[in-house]
Structure 1
């Protein structure tokens, strides 16, 4: 059964249509990678999945429930759908532990001790044990992005959205973040991620989706879309990112 579904999803900003009727079905435990040029609609589609951006047409469904439009319980939706942003979005005046436990305590109502224990467990898992009392500016970019991933996982989401999470990192820090995502994929976490890391997409994705000018131009398994694309526009895009793809993990 389809777990996360976009039905004829449109998104407009004034007269500019960013998403022009997107249809996409994602199964539970599937890893879907969104690729495409900047401005193609990748980030907007992710943000529509957990209602950070309200859609202007169509429907988004999660496990059969409509999660777009008026009347959606946003707190419940964001407990089920985690998101990790390109720019970390950590609160600079809060410790790592407080950044991670804020939503579990305030939104999910978990006791402080339980939230703290879960944060410590997750930090150890991503190699950041002992950093709980640090502030974000005491961490490297890669460490901050790992904290951002932990913050999302602390809510025990059913699906995680990742928006170009390595694009703000120095190249030597990319691998440490992608290692965490790779582990989540192997554990069966349902994920939808926008990335320019073609080598990584080839490794972890079950489905690669190529967006161009707000529409899905091509989708399929990575060995087809990335190695033998049908559409000329897909081939053109992959030629532009081929040099970078050679350096991915």
Structure 2
């Protein structure tokens, strides 16, 4: 047999997605088309307001799209007939705000969705949670309340909570933005480990150095448009668009590289 094997079906596909907040408002997303292959990391970069977070929120069905479609494993999840709750059970989402319930222990935060949404037994949910806490260096924090944890520990707990439901896809929205600089590394190391394990991820980030290290695909968004897309080496090393070059130059000048 000759020829290369066919490319795998994308886990996530954005097909000409448009989104505006209000009838007369300018679009936040303008005909965004993008494929995310299995077991890869896609990094969304760009200035604040470029559409990165909105794109993730649309993928998580937290926002409705105005036009176009989003497919998860070939299913049009933006079709009004799609079971939104069933779709959300296949997607893990972590935001920059940890959103842990303050009145619940770390263990209870993590096992809530598996027990209530996925109907997993308490014993099974707790076993899975403790395994994940061990892997992410939080085994001794299971019985603590969130206010007893550092920011980095709370964000790692939020990642454990997202992983506890065994998601097909993990969406990470600026997960280091609220952290002190010394805590950023411990959270990013978790993402690096998840990549090594083959988790399919889409992350919006301002951590350019990290994106260059871990991303299989980098997409630069500007004004709701994917201005440039390619491998990390292509986008960061030899960008073809002037807008991308200006953005990266400002990042370098500000010392945020």
TM range (shorter): over 0.9
Q: Greater share of strand residues, 1 or 2?
A: 1
Aligned residue among 10, 14, 20 for 1:6: 14
Q: Is the 8 A contact 1:89 1:148 kept in 2?
A: yes
Distance in 1, matches of 2:256 and 2:113, equals: 36
1:75 Cα deviation after fit: 2.0
Partner of 2:234: 224
* Length-normalised TM-score, structure 1: 0.97
Q: Is the 8 A contact 1:196 1:241 kept in 2?
A: no
Partner of 1:70: 80
Q: Gaps spanning 5+ residues in structure 1: where?
A: none
Does residue 187 in structure 1 map to residue 228 in structure 2? no
The more displaced of 141-150 and 47-56 is: 47-56
Partner of 1:202: 212
Larger Rg: 2
Q: Is the 8 A contact 1:158 1:190 kept in 2?
A: yes
Q: Is the 8 A contact 1:197 1:244 kept in 2?
A: no
Residues 81-100 of structure 1: pairs in structure 2 closer than 5 A: 81-100=91-110
1:77 Cα deviation after fit: 1.1
Aligned residue among 82, 101, 114 for 1:104: 114
Q: Gaps spanning 5+ residues in structure 2: where?
A: 1-8
Residues 13-28 of structure 1: pairs in structure 2 closer than 5 A: 13-14=21-22, 15-28=25-38
Distance in 1, matches of 2:26 and 2:96, equals: 23
Q: Is the 8 A contact 1:55 1:69 kept in 2?
A: no
Distance in 2, matches of 1:20 and 1:158, equals: 26
Residues 50-199 of structure 1: pairs in structure 2 closer than 5 A: 50-199=60-209
Aligned residue among 34, 40, 61 for 1:30: 40
Q: Deviations over 1:129-166 (max 9, x none)?
A: 11111111110000000000000000000110000000
RMSD: 0.9
1:241 Cα deviation after fit: 1.4
Partner of 1:39: 49
Distance in 1, matches of 2:86 and 2:216, equals: 27
